[in-house]
Amino acid sequence: MSRLRYAFYPGCTAHASARDYTRSTYATFRALGIELEEVPGWSCCGSTAVPNVDPLLGMALCARNLALAESTGLDLAVTCNACYANLAPTLEAYREDRRVRDRLQRVLDAVDRHLEGEVEVRHGVHILTRDLGLDRVEEGVRRPLDGLKAVPYYGCLLSRPRNPYDDPENPTSLDELLATLGVEVLPFERKTKCCGGSFMNTKEEVALRLTFEILEEARERGAHVIVCACPLCQLNLDAYRAKLRARYGTYHDTPVLYFTQVVGLALGLDRRDLAIGQSFVPADRVLGLR
């Protein structure tokens, strides 16, 4: 069977606050026969700040990274929702809109780069559920996670405003992936509701309120763990429990794991290879439930 290979776009958090996500991604993908090679010379995608201030700059940053990826001859794998929500639409606009293409080509010319538009952008969730396929994931499961109750948190950028596979408001890719591992996936209304994102820096009370509601519902549903697919989602949901207690009087102790960590556990990988234990809220209780 041919192996899947991707150029890996880490994004700004991958080697810093989300290094546990990156480590688990490499370990889990390798165990499933997927090779990742970091794109040499990659730079920031613009995240949420740049496109709001200067749309052309936002697209130019992405176009450069797409060009770098294309020159490797591989499709581009991303594991951050904001990176995905910048890179994929930039590529689509580049392909479909003549004016965008012309402007971006001029920008790229100025840095001696060229983009044909033949690269694809794939989010890690779609790589496992579509490119590899749930059947192959299921084949690799050594330790089914029966008894583990989880809610999938997609964040607001993975499926909205649109994506190739799921209903934007009620996506099911992550639900299906977790179910393949034996996890009991609980219904979760807030699966695509915003956590506040970078408002945690600029308007904290708004982000705290939104994060609180997500954690509240997870707790009400009886979830043992929240599973997410983006480093900023994980950060907001994981790192502000003390502030939330101070504000709302409730302490939520539900751990937040990356989907790559959960898949890796089901594949039988060691928790250290999956970097479990590097988040604020401990997940040990979760591990004891298998």
Partner 1 sequence: MARIGVYVCHCGTNIAGTVDVAAVRDFAAALPGVVVARDYQYMCSDPGQDLIRKDIAEMGLDRVVVASCSPRMHEPTFRRALESAGLNGYLLEMANIREHVSWVTTDVAAATRKAKALVAGAVRRVVLHEPLQERYADVTPQALVVGGGIAGIEAALKIADAGFRVHLVEKEPSIGGQMAKLDKTFPTLDCSACILTPKMVAVAQHPNIVLHTYSEVERVEGFVGNFRVTIRHKARFVDMQKCTGCGTCWSKCPYTAPNEFDEGLGKRKLIYIPFPQAVPNKPVIDRDRCVKLQSGKCGACQKLCPTGAIDFNQQDELVEENVGAIVVATGYSLFDPSRGPWGYGRYPNVLTALQFERMVNASGPTGGHVQLQDGSTPRAVAILHCIGSRDTNYHEYCSNVCCMYSLKLAHLVKEKTGAEVYNFYIDIRAFGKAYEEFYNRVQSEGVYFIRGKGAEVGSRDGRLLVRCEDTLLGKYREIPVDMVILSPAMEPRPDAARVSQVFGIQRSADGFFLEAHAKLEPLKTATDGVFIAGACQGPKDIPYSVAQGAGAAAEVLRLLSAGRVTISPVVAQVAEEVCSGCRACLPICPYRALTYDEGMKVVRVNEALCKGCGTCAAACPSGALSVSHFRTPQVLAQIEEVLAV
Chain residues 2-41 in contact with partner 1, contact rule CB under 8 A:
none
User: Judged by CB, which is closer to partner 1: 161, or 288?
Assistant: 161
Smaller CB separation from partner 1, 118 or 169: 169
- 187 binds partner 1 per the rule CB under 8 A: yes
CA dihedral defined by 236, 92, 106, 61, rounded to 10 degrees? 10
Contact with partner 1 (CB under 8 A) among 41, 110, 220, 288: 220
In angstroms, what is the minimal distance from the CB of 189 to partner 1? 5
For residue 172, state whether it binds partner 1 (rule: CB under 8 A): no
Minimum separation from the CB atom of position 250 to partner 1 (A) = 15
By the rule CB under 8 A, 189 interacts with partner 1: yes
CA atoms within 13 A on the CB side of 134: 11
Residue keyed to tokens 């200067």: 54
Of the candidates 53, 173, 45, the one whose C-alpha atom is nearest the C-alpha of residue 121 is 45
> Which residue's CB is nearer to partner 1, number 140 or number 168?
168
Instruction: Tell me whether residue 23 or residue 191 sits nearer to partner 1 (CB atom).
Output: 191
Using rule CB under 8 A, residue 205 touches partner 1: no
| Phi/psi at 115 (5° precision) | -125, 120
Are the C-beta atoms of 67 and 108 separated by less than 8 Å? Answer: yes
Q: Which of 81, 213, 248, 206 is nearest to 155 (CA)?
A: 81
Nearer to partner 1, 146 or 169 (CB): 169
Q: By the 8 A CB rule, do 283 and 253 touch?
A: no
Q: Select 15 or 162, whichever has its Cβ closest to partner 1.
A: 162
- Token code pair at residue 289: 């439930």
* Cis-peptide, bond into residue 161, ω within 30° of zero: yes
Report, in Å, the least distance between residue 210 CB and partner 1. 12
From the number of C-beta atoms within 10 Å of its C-beta (0-12, 13-18, 19+), residue 36 rates as buried
Q: With binding defined as CB under 8 A, does residue 97 bind partner 1?
A: no
Q: How far is the CB of 168 from partner 1 (least distance, A)?
A: 10
Q: From CA 144, how far away is CA 103, in angstroms rounded?
A: 50
- Select the residue interacting with partner 1 from 170, 172, 198, 278 (CB under 8 A): 170
Task: In angstroms, give the least distance from the CB of 51 to partner 1.
Answer: 25
Cβ closest to partner 1, residue 135 vs residue 220: 220
Judging by beta carbons within 10 Å of its beta carbon (0-12, 13-18, 19+), is residue 157 exposed, middle or buried?
A: buried
How many residues comprise the chain?
290
Q: How far is the CB of 191 from partner 1 (least distance, A)?
A: 11
On the 0-12 / 13-18 / 19+ scale of CB atoms within 10 A, 272 is exposed
Assess 169 for contact with partner 1 (CB under 8 A).
yes
Site size toward partner 1, by CB under 8 A: 5
CA torsion sign for 195, 215, 279, 9 is: negative
Nearer to partner 1, 54 or 189 (CB): 189
Residues that bind partner 1 (CB under 8 A): 169-170, 187, 189, 220
